[in-house]
Amino acid sequence: MIRHVVMFIWTEEATDEQKAAVVTELRKLPGAIPEISSYTVGADAGINEGNYEFAVVADFDTVDDYLVYRDHPQHQKVIAEHIRPIVASRAALQFNA
């Protein structure tokens, strides 16, 4: 299994409405991309200072399934229209889980 983890820090100008739109649009992806085995998105719980603000954790049976997700037009549209305009920092990795 491949686990994909991506974390974001939003720009100071990012509105609550923009952040909510990211959640809404990302949560549509499992219905559009059957290669996703598990998909969780959420804002930081605010327990520790200095954390990233938002994360996505997605599981895939194979590397090829992850690549389908990565390159899927609906995923790319969410990135272009909702994430990229408000992201200040991004960190990601994929690992064998």
**CA-to-CA separations, 51 to 47, 55, 67, 90, 91, in angstroms, rounded:** 9, 10, 27, 12, 12
Q: What is the CATH number of domain 2-96?
A: 3.30.70.100
pLDDT of residue 67: 98
pLDDT of residue 16: 97
| Averaged pLDDT in 10-residue chunks for the chain of 97 residues | 98 98 98 98 97 98 98 98 98 97
Q: Where are the domains of the chain?
A: 2-96
DSSP letters along 17-43, please? HHHHHHHHHHHTHHHH-TTEEEEEEEE
pLDDT of residue 52: 98
